[in-house]
């Protein structure tokens, strides 16, 4: 799953309307006693690293805290509870939390509760207490439902609390989710991963695959639509490996269609798809239902069969290209994006060139490329990793240069066309807006309209760069 969106123009601010912090949550918040170790009003600071699944988990964690009477603050200094929701996918990502925790070294404030959540918490467990003794909460993503109880114990004076089970399905339904993005609602439909790619920590940090019942998914989508959301994004590390545990046994493609049929829903996205489970019925569903957005994120990781085998990706280059041909055969043009790892142990120059040739062959709409990073517990950790860092950097730069050319050329062909955009950003500069097309492309555009946030606008593309499109509102 891509860790960040390509948001092209930094000057654009995404206006965040607190869709779910009003009414019900506020009422319950005041009914509760905001409690802290020193009896002051409870406040929390929450910083999130990693993928959209983590972003969404943080929305649930914030919901749990707000319903207990805590207020969210923007600086750790103002908070009685400081939480980091962490990512462990690459060494650098995992290091971030330790540098954050290091800021409290030497001056730990006894009255503050400092907690590590998410994938580093699950992976490192109680070792975190050894590295940073001022931490008092370590909790993986499968245990967030127990957070109120854990906080209660900490508030009552317990020194250390952990939540490290990782095979429950408790994370799917939380009473309150405080969604940050007022325009696109994230919804996890499958947790964990059973694929066991040789380089990847996710099966260890998020546990085995557990799918959420289709009835529960559809219930939440109906609630979201009633709250005014028109775009939902279904999440899972292997979202298309979804296996409905209810008697309805809905296939993933059937669930997509059922979500799209919920009144008020105009756009349905899903990420990340695993190539092995990407089947023809998903494309058929996209053909049948235009509300299914014209975008598939299909990580390939490498264009070389030898490397794919060493990575245990369970498909060959040829099989992957068959899936691409299937998507290209759809009635609409579907945007395809991917993830690639360069410098997997033993990757030769020839094997790397095969990845470049695959990029040229598929002509992706966006690429998220990473240098291989050895991770704890993973099978590839035992492999000799002789590729020097500079060589990995060179391969990464070559890959990105090729992709930039492809994206620029693809974007140029779109100049003159009109796309429907869900407007989600407003620039500080007058009359400038931004949003995503169904293909997930970012459009920055001008309009004389008074307020477009949250509406769908037809935008004519007037210019294009490698990362985004420029346009004007067609009134
Ligand atoms: N479930 C998704 C991806 C999850 S992680 C999938 O199967 O594709 C997001 C991306 O991080 C991966 O696609 C991969 O490109 C990258 N990644 C994962 N582990 C990595 C590692 N050890 N080193 C470098 N990149 C890695
Ligand atoms: Fe990691 Fe592979 Fe699972 Fe993706 S499919 S989360 S890369 S193990
Ligand atoms: Fe996501 Fe990072 Fe965990 S990519 S699943 S937060 S290791």
The answer to whether 319 and 275 are in contact (CB under 8 A) is yes
Q: Can you give the pLDDT of all 475 residues of the chain as single tens digits? A: 544 333 222 222 333 322 333 333 333 333 344 455 555 568 999 999 999 999 999 999 999 889 888 999 999 999 999 999 999 999 999 999 999 999 988 776 777 899 999 999 999 999 999 999 999 999 999 888 888 889 889 988 899 999 998 766 566 677 778 898 899 999 999 999 999 999 999 999 999 999 999 999 999 999 999 999 999 999 999 999 999 999 999 999 999 999 999 999 999 999 999 999 999 999 999 999 999 999 999 999 999 999 999 999 999 999 999 999 999 999 999 999 999 999 999 999 999 999 999 999 999 999 999 999 999 999 999 998 889 999 999 999 999 999 999 999 999 999 999 999 999 999 888 899 999 999 999 999 999 998 999 999 999 999 998 888 999 999 8
Q: How far is CA 433 from CA 7, 171, 436, in A?
A: 13, 35, 11
The answer to whether 433 and 457 are in contact (CB under 8 A) is yes
φ, ψ (nearest 5 deg) of residue 247: -65, -15
150 & 188 share domain = no
φ, ψ (nearest 5 deg) of residue 261: -80, -10
Distance 64 CA to ligand 3 centre (A): 21
Kindly tell me the burial class for residue 97, based on how many C-beta atoms sit within 10 Å of its own C-beta (0-12, 13-18, 19 or more): buried
223 & 338 share domain = yes
- Domain containing 157 equals 32-163
* Nearest Cα residue to 379 out of 195, 120, 196, 194: 196
94 & 234 share domain = no
Q: Is the CB of 90 under 6 A from ligand 1?
A: yes
**For 156-279, where are the alpha helices, taking DSSP H only?**
202-205, 214-226, 252-260
What is the per-residue pLDDT for 430?
A: 86
As given in the structure block, the two tokens for residue 134 are 């001022």
228 & 357 share domain = yes
Mutate to test the pocket of ligand 2, among 87, 200, 298 (most ligand atoms within 8 A of CB): 200
What is the per-residue pLDDT for 32?
A: 42
Q: Is the CB of 97 under 6 A from ligand 3?
A: no
392 & 335 share domain = yes
Atom of ligand 2 lying closest to residue 196 CA: 8
The answer to whether 461 and 446 are in contact (CB under 8 A) is no
149 & 208 share domain = no
Biggest CA-to-CA distance, the chain: 65
- The ligand that comes nearest to the alpha carbon of residue 376 is 1
Q: Is the CB of 454 under 6 A from ligand 3?
A: no
Q: Is the CB of 301 under 6 A from ligand 1?
A: yes
- Structural domain ending residue among the three candidates 393, 412, 431: 412
Is residue 15 in a domain?
A: no
φ, ψ (nearest 5 deg) of residue 7: -100, 120
Q: Considering only CA atoms, which residue is closest to atom 3 of ligand 1? A: 1
156 & 61 share domain = yes
Distance 237 CA to ligand 2 centre (A): 7
- CATH number of the domain within which 435 lies: 2.40.50
What is the per-residue pLDDT for 124?
A: 95
The answer to whether 425 and 457 are in contact (CB under 8 A) is no
Distance 81 CA to ligand 1 centre (A): 31
The answer to whether 274 and 241 are in contact (CB under 8 A) is yes
429 & 450 share domain = yes
Q: Is the CB of 87 under 6 A from ligand 3?
A: yes
Helices 252-260 and 280-288, axial angle in degrees (round to 10): 10
Structural domain count, the chain? 3
**For 3-106, where are the alpha helices, taking DSSP H only?**
23-31, 52-67, 91-102
259 & 394 share domain = yes
Q: By three-state DSSP, how is residue 25 classified?
A: helix
As given in the structure block, the two tokens for residue 460 are 């004519």
The answer to whether 206 and 122 are in contact (CB under 8 A) is yes
């Amino acid at each position: 799953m891509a860790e960040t969106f390509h948001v092209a123009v930094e000057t654009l601010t995404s206006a965040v309307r607190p869709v779910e912090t009003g009414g019900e949550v506020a009422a319950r918040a005041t009914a509760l006693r905001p409690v802290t170790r020193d009896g002051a009003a409870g406040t929390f600071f929450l910083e999130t690293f990693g993928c959209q699944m983590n972003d969404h988990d943080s929305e649930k964690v914030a919901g749990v805290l707000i319903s207990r009477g805590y207020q969210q603050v923007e600086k750790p200094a103002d908070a009685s509870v400081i939480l980091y929701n962490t990512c462990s996918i690459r060494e650098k990502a995992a290091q971030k939390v330790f540098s954050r925790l290091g800021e409290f070294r030497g001056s730990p404030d006894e009255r503050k509760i400092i907690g590590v959540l998410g994938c580093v918490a699950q992976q490192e467990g109680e070792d975190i207490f050894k590295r940073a003794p001022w931490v008092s909460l370590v909790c993986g993503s499968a245990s967030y439902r127990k957070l109120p109880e854990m906080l209660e114990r900490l508030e009552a004076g317990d020194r250390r609390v952990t939540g490290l089970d990782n095979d429950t399905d408790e994370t799917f339904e939380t009473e309150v989710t405080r969604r940050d993005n007022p325009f696109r609602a994230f919804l996890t439909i499958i947790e964990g991963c059973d694929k066991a790619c040789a380089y990847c920590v996710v099966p260890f940090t998020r546990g085995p695959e557990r799918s959420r019942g289709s009835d529960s998914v559809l219930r939440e989508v109906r609630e979201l639509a009633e709250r005014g959301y028109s775009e939902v994004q279904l999440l899972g590390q292997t979202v298309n490996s979804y296996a409905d545990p209810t008697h309805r046994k809905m296939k993933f493609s059937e669930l997509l269609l059922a979500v799209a049929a919920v009144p008020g829903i105009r756009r349905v996205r899903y990420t990340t798809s695993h190539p092995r489970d990407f089947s023809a019925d998903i494309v058929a569903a996209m053909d049948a239902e235009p509300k299914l957005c014209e975008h598939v994120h299909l990580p390939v990781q490498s264009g070389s069969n030898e490397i794919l085998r060493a990575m245990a990706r369970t498909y060959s280059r040829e099989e992957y290209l068959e899936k691409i041909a299937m998507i290209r055969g759809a009635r609409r043009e579907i945007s395809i994006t991917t993830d690639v790892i360069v410098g997997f142990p033993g990757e030769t120059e020839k094997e790397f060139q095969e990845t470049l040739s695959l990029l040229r062959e598929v002509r992706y709409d966006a690429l998220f490329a990473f240098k291989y990073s050895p991770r704890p517990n993973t099978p590839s950790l035992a492999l000799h990793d002789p590729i020097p860092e500079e060589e990995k950097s060179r391969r990464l730069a070559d890959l990105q240069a090729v992709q930039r050319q492809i994206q620029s050329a693809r974007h140029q062909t779109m100049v003159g066309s009109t796309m429907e955009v869900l407007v989600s950003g407003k620039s500080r500069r007058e009359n400038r807006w931004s949003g995503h097309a169904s293909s997930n492309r970012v459009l920055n555009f001008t309009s004389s309209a008074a307020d477009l946030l949250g509406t769908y606008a037809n935008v004519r593309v007037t210019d294009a760069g490698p990362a985004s499109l420029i346009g004007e509102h067609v009134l």
